[in-house]
Amino acid sequence: MSGRLPFREWVASLQERVEKALARHLPSAETVPARLHRAMRYSCLDGGKRARPLLAFAAGELCAAPAEKLEIVSCALEMIHAYSLVHDDLPCMDNDVLRRGRPTCHVEFGEATALLAGDALQTRAFELVAGENLGAPVVQIEMLRCLARASGSLGMAGGQAIDLDAVGRSLDLPELERMHAMKTGALIRAAIRLGALCGEPLSEPSKEALDRFGQRVGLLFQVVDDILDCTASTAALGKTAGKDSAADKPTCVGRMGLERAREFAGRLREQALESLQGFGERAGRLVEVTDFIARREF
Amino acid sequence: MSGRLPFREWVASLQERVEKALARHLPSAETVPARLHRAMRYSCLDGGKRARPLLAFAAGELCAAPAEKLEIVSCALEMIHAYSLVHDDLPCMDNDVLRRGRPTCHVEFGEATALLAGDALQTRAFELVAGENLGAPVVQIEMLRCLARASGSLGMAGGQAIDLDAVGRSLDLPELERMHAMKTGALIRAAIRLGALCGEPLSEPSKEALDRFGQRVGLLFQVVDDILDCTASTAALGKTAGKDSAADKPTCVGRMGLERAREFAGRLREQALESLQGFGERAGRLVEVTDFIARREF
């Protein structure tokens, strides 16, 4: 039924659904220690494009996955993503004060609470995927491995570390792609894989095609991020614009210039869509989400 | 066979075993990003009493658990413990410079790398328990839930948050016990439970008795920590002595004085040992580890 909703409405309905599910799957703001739980809720609720949940739900449509399961993996993905933002914004990292149009977590709650909130969000994500409502343990274990690999030292956290080490240094394009693939791409790929794991098993060739799609769309997401960091306003982004170039961070735009970065994004979009061709109409939402990511302005 | 080793030798052999397993289960120091992986290895290897692994192995003896499985859960427990120490030592938390007789992780590698190393150690812990060598997914899921509950916002991280909020405030004894039960006790209990989950299933009454033991020994561990913070030297502890009272943190010694804290520790030891009575000789190692924890001087 949701398959028939126009894209914008589908996005809005999922964003609302994920928001409600996150509110339910996080400890209440009154649960002791209340300050920590308020910081966790502050960092997850009321915002974000929910790009990873959109991809998980869209991938779930390929495999007739039930929405209840997609909701849970979406919450776990958002918690991992939120934890990484909270820690990334800390003074010892990017030292940023604005996120999703509001003060960052450590500005609002202090550094120590923000540190612990990030830590506990990561834990809660794994706890959710290990929870009772997700179905067969053998599939949950596969999901947990996928989520851990994507977010650990060979995935997201490792990408952050490479990013740190690269400040002021020039990365060549393969190095830059590798960093992006880890820092942002890994969790995007995991979102797609986790969405698919919520439904009927895919054949090996289908899995591989979907993972090729995930690779391309993950890189696309980051290249568009780099472009927006240069071209969009702080107000539009809800986070500090221009900070990557100001901090002399390696970005695609810095490496290849704005025009070639746009061309690169266009190629990645085409490659992503090509990987979906074998799926036919079942991949309709994935096509739409790809265009949403390619054309987003925030 | 290890059942016949004298206690000191058993401890030494397990410490060596866990050290080697950790070295194997962490990415090598050369794996990109190398600095991050060096920081992760620095924080886990070459030190610590390995109290949680000792408890896991001792609980494993109750259930004829294979050493290969106990080794894996021990590594996961040590990674969670190490991540909490790395983050706890950061300037925005305890701002400590000495740990296990060496500079803390952020002193050695910088704050940003220490933050990411802690993050990635947590992830790796969950990845290990979801790994291929641990056996039945349905048991792994139970282990993962146990580990997540023990370390998240209602366990270890929550206890840290209560500790933070309590600086300079006076907690009454039930509040103090609750904080300790979360901050240190939860992961100690999890160690015992995870050890038991590596072996043959226990009956419900046995599970409950073992968990009562875990509660008492977890609290005992922290009360002894509080006592040592007051009475032992920095050299003996390998970490800054006297820092809790200097920071005006709530401790048992601060609450009840040194003598009554010692009596309290004695009572907790007795209660812990009472919970083991039904197990007979199979609990031999647990009895020894309890005495080791009660009498430790570092």
Digit-coded pLDDT (tens) for B197-244: 999 999 999 999 999 999 999 999 999 998 998 887 777 778 777 777
Q: Which residues pair with B99 in a beta bridge?
A: B102
Superfamily of domain B2-295: Farnesyl Diphosphate Synthase (1.10.600.10)
Q: Detail the DSSP E strand segments found in A34-167.
A: 98-99, 102-103
* Interval B8-32 mean pLDDT: 97
Instruction: State the average pLDDT over residues B6-31.
Output: 97
Residue B102 has φ and ψ, to the nearest 5°, of -130, 165
Q: State pLDDT tens for residues A60-112.
A: 999 999 999 999 999 999 999 999 999 999 999 999 999 988 999 999 999 99
Contact between residue A187 and residue A156 where contact means Cβ atoms under 8 Å apart: yes
CB count within 10 Å of CB A168 equals 9
Q: What local confidence, expressed as pLDDT, does residue A239 receive?
A: 79
Nearest to A44 by CA among A70, A60, A30, A24: A24
Dihedral (C-alpha) A100, A17, A121, B163: value to the nearest 10 degrees? 90
Element (H, E) at B88: helix B67-88
Q: Average the pLDDT over B33-40 and give the result.
A: 97
Query: What pLDDT does residue B2 have?
Result: 45
Radius of gyration from C-alpha coordinates of chain B = 18
Q: Where are the domains of chain A?
A: 2-295
Give tens-digit pLDDT for A228-258. 988 877 777 777 777 777 777 788 888 888 9
Say if the Cβ atoms of A130 and B148 lie within 8 Å. yes
The predicted pLDDT at position B246 comes to 73
| Coil vs helix vs strand at A98 | strand
Share of chain A above pLDDT 70, in %: 99
pLDDT given for residue A245 in this prediction:
73
Distance CA A237, CA A298 (A): 5
Strand, helix or coil for residue A103: strand
Is A115–B90 a contact, with Cβ atoms under 8 angstroms apart?
yes
Residue range B59-66: mean pLDDT, rounded: 96
Residues of B numbered 125-184 whose beta carbons fall under 8 angstroms of chain A's beta carbons: which are they? 126-127, 130-131, 137-138, 140-141, 144-145, 148-149, 151-154, 157-158, 160-162, 164-165
Q: What is the C-alpha to C-alpha distance for residues B108 and A126, in angstroms, rounded to an integer? A: 30
Per-residue model confidence (pLDDT) at position A216: 96
CB–CB contact B120 A40 (8 Å) = no
Closest chain B residue to A26, measured at CA = B153
pLDDT bucket at A1, cuts 50 / 70 / 90: very low
* Least trusted range by pLDDT, from A167-181, B59-73, B91-105, B133-147: A167-181
